[in-house]
Chains A and B, each alone.
Chain A
Amino acid sequence: MELVCPAGTPAAFRTAVEAGADAVYCGFRDETNARNFPGLNFSRDELAHAVAFARTRHVKTLVAINTFPRAGNLGLWRAAVDDAVRCGADALILADIGLLDYAARVHAGQRLHLSVQAAAANPEAIAFYVETFGVKRVVLPRVLSVAEIASVASAVACEVEAFVFGGLCVMAEGSCLLSSYVTGLSPNMNGVCSPASHVAYRQEGEETVSRLGRFTINRFGPHETAAYPTICKGRFRSAVSNGYLFEEPSSLDAAELVAALRSAGVTALKIEGRQRGRAYVNRVVRAFREALSVLDDGRTVDLQSLNTLTEGNKSTTGAYHKTWR
């Protein structure tokens, strides 16, 4: 299985390559990718240098251009596609149908991956992208159990990539408007979820209140760590029950499922975290490199140490286990 690793900066890119990535994914410093955070991402020159460095180590560079182009301003996204191809990207990770159409027509032969933001979750949907745009790999949305992944992988004519570690969207990707509803900034259009510009923490007596836009997302007691106010991991009230109605502050950790994912036909494992620093990239990539290299021996590696890198030190296998639903 290919190990696909995140890089939010050229330094993290180098770290990922040196830690054992088979492929590194990154994006340009603008709204064309889904991690459009201040201080992150690559200029054209930085991408060209990264690609050249990766080549010397036989590592692939994947460029995420996976937001949905703004109507009336397609040029920014099309230029990102053109420039990524010119910089030598091994694959482009795209979600928007118009942009896939453009890339397939203008850059015939360029390898295209279908971003998780397209949320193609069944064989018929995936076949549409494969047959229409020549997509070579689908990144599966985090809505499928391992058994369902196996059924998808056996029925599609492309490679299958699945998330194994890092931030967890509990909603189907690419169709989540929660952040946009509260802040006006959207993962799909602006490449941000719960943007820091709209986050505030406030002390009220012993409680720390976290807010996003004009809404309170959580209140933490003196002995709790205040989590980042992502709406789907906030604490709320309803007439039926109160608390973490969607999901607790936690991250995906499917280390225990690496062998099962391989048996299911997954050809690439993706680590989330372009917004994370080099220490995270180094530790997580090395751990999964080790896990993959001993997998063939029938041994397993203890990846418990990665727990400290997850959100709130809490992890879940999410939809991979059917009981999560």
Chain B
Amino acid sequence: MKLTLGPTLFNWPPAKWQDFYFRIADEAPVDAVAIGEVVCSKRIPLLADRVPAVVDRLARAGKEVLLSSLALVTQARERKSTIDLAESEHMIVEANDMSCLARLAGRPHVIGPFINIYNEATAQFFSRRGAARICLPPELPMPSIAAIAKAVPDVVVEVLAFGRIPLAISARCYHARLYGLSKDNCQFVCVNDADGVVVDTLDGEGILAINGVQTLSHSAIDLIADLDELTSIGVGACRLSPLSCDMVAVAALFRAVLDGRLDGEEARGRLISIYPQVPHSNGFLHGRAGADWIDPLSPPRSAAGAADREGARPSAR
């Protein structure tokens, strides 16, 4: 099992962004690092002149570098930057929108988590066109992941294993809206919130987080106690999505469990202590509400799922 550091989803100040990746290059036991702006095209110019140095540092440290594309492409400048990215032939591109696909066919590339691959037929389609790796949408349950992994043995199947879960993207900037601004005149207020703005219910319970045009989970997905089963069903890589905590330590914990040096439950406790601000969740993997935590070692009934009202599964499942 390999480890991938996903792209930073938040608007971190350029100096912090660069320092973060320099430290990842020097210290984090990850095999691949995806970089690039996925959420908002207005942020692309802020980092542009720092990208070459970061790519160089990561590559010299032996990391495979992936360039991630925007998840929602509508405006002319977004189309152009996505096409330019797809045409950077000496780099491996992670496509997050179908607009990249025609330009990537026939050479190795990665399908990112914002392109919908829900089943083996779709995975095989992308495999035939040259996808070397696919990072699956985060809501897929274990049996779907297993069926997909089995159907594309030549493709590395990756799942999101740590970080806030991307739940939605919009034309509207909710971050700007929070501040009474519009997207076109946003004043880049998203720079204030390194892990997004926490959204609470009116009862004060954390539910979501806002990051520009993107909506994320309040909880952090945490599959560190599920790694044995993920390995056994053929998952080839786990994605760690950057938060403003010690991501080097996060990567080291995952590596230690995968190498058999640390037990999953022990690692889970340590992971919570590295990022204690929010609840950790793994419900999607277990076919439940994504916000739930299901203890992989005991049946779902005893876990957080019991807190919701669904005594019986709806017949639609």
Selecting from B4-12, B23-31, B48-56, B96-104, the interface stretch reads: B96-104
A325-B172 contact, Cβ under 8 Å, with A120-B98, A240-B178: yes
A325-B74 contact, Cβ under 8 Å, with A99-B121, A241-B178: no
Q: Mark B150-162, 1 if CB is under 8 A from A, else 0.
A: 0000000000000
**Pairwise interchain contact B99-A128, C-beta atoms closer than 8 A:** yes
**Pairwise interchain contact A325-B184, C-beta atoms closer than 8 A:** yes
- A189 touches which of B83, B114, B118, B125 (Cβ 8 Å): B118
Q: How far is the CA of A238 from the CA of B101 in the complex (A)?
A: 38
Give the A-B contact count at a CB cut-off of 8 A: 249
Q: How far is the CA of A239 from the CA of B146 in the complex (A)?
A: 40
Q: How far is the CA of A235 from the CA of B148 in the complex (A)?
A: 38
**Pairwise interchain contact B167-A71, C-beta atoms closer than 8 A:** no
Q: How far is the CA of A129 from the CA of B291 in the complex (A)?
A: 34
B29 to chain A minimum Cβ distance, whole angstroms, is 29
**Pairwise interchain contact B139-A180, C-beta atoms closer than 8 A:** yes
Total interface residues on A, CB under 8 Å, equals 80
- B98 touches which of A128, A170, A215 (Cβ 8 Å): A128
A177-B165 contact, Cβ under 8 Å, with A98-B119, A127-B102: yes
**Pairwise interchain contact A236-B290, C-beta atoms closer than 8 A:** no
Nearest CB in chain B to that of A244: its residue: B177
Residues of A within 8 A of B179 (CB): 240-241
**Pairwise interchain contact B75-A68, C-beta atoms closer than 8 A:** no
**Pairwise interchain contact A216-B203, C-beta atoms closer than 8 A:** yes
Q: Mark B205-245, 1 if CB is under 8 A from A, else 0.
A: 10110100001010000000000000000000000000000
**Pairwise interchain contact B121-A324, C-beta atoms closer than 8 A:** no
Q: How far is the CA of A96 from the CA of B121 in the complex (A)?
A: 9
A190-B317 contact, Cβ under 8 Å, with A72-B147, A325-B182: yes
Q: How far is the CA of A216 from the CA of B101 in the complex (A)?
A: 40
Residues of A within 8 A of B78 (CB): 122
Nearest CB in chain A to that of B312: its residue: A197
**Pairwise interchain contact A143-B291, C-beta atoms closer than 8 A:** no
Total interface residues on B, CB under 8 Å, equals 84
- A102 touches which of B82, B121, B138, B199 (Cβ 8 Å): B121
**Pairwise interchain contact A214-B307, C-beta atoms closer than 8 A:** yes
Q: Is there a chain A Cβ closer than 8 Å to B308's Cβ?
A: yes
Q: Mark A227-262, 1 if CB is under 8 A from B, else 0.
A: 000011001111111000111000000000000000
Residues of A within 8 A of B82 (CB): 124
Q: Is there a chain A Cβ closer than 8 Å to B76's Cβ?
A: yes
Residues of A within 8 A of B67 (CB): none
B40 to chain A minimum Cβ distance, whole angstroms, is 11
Residues of A within 8 A of B79 (CB): 122-124
- B72 touches which of A97, A143, A170, A322 (Cβ 8 Å): A143
- B116 touches which of A182, A188, A231, A325 (Cβ 8 Å): A188
Q: Mark A121-160, 1 if CB is under 8 A from B, else 0.
A: 1111101110100000000001110001001000000000
**Pairwise interchain contact A177-B125, C-beta atoms closer than 8 A:** no
**Looking at B116, B140, B180, B283, which has the most chain A CB atoms within 10 Å of its CB?**
B116
Q: Is there a chain B Cβ closer than 8 Å to A313's Cβ?
A: no
Q: Mark B125-154, 1 if CB is under 8 A from A, else 0.
A: 110000000000111100111111000000
Residues of B within 8 A of A97 (CB): 116-117, 122, 125-126
Q: Is there a chain B Cβ closer than 8 Å to A219's Cβ?
A: yes
Q: Is there a chain B Cβ closer than 8 Å to A174's Cβ?
A: yes
Nearest CB in chain B to that of A151: its residue: B76
Q: How far is the CA of A238 from the CA of B177 in the complex (A)?
A: 12
**Pairwise interchain contact B74-A324, C-beta atoms closer than 8 A:** no
Residues of B within 8 A of A175 (CB): 71, 114, 116, 137, 168-169
Q: How far is the CA of A215 from the CA of B201 in the complex (A)?
A: 7
A322-B210 contact, Cβ under 8 Å, with A182-B289, A184-B287: no
- A68 touches which of B74, B116, B290 (Cβ 8 Å): B116
Q: How far is the CA of A184 from the CA of B145 in the complex (A)?
A: 16
**Pairwise interchain contact B120-A72, C-beta atoms closer than 8 A:** yes
Add 11 more A-B contacts to A127-B102, A213-B309 (CB < 8 A).
A69-B118, A72-B144, A102-B121, A122-B99, A128-B98, A171-B168, A188-B116, A219-B202, A245-B177, A246-B215, A319-B171
- B183 touches which of A74, A128, A151, A325 (Cβ 8 Å): A325
Q: Is there a chain A Cβ closer than 8 Å to B2's Cβ?
A: no
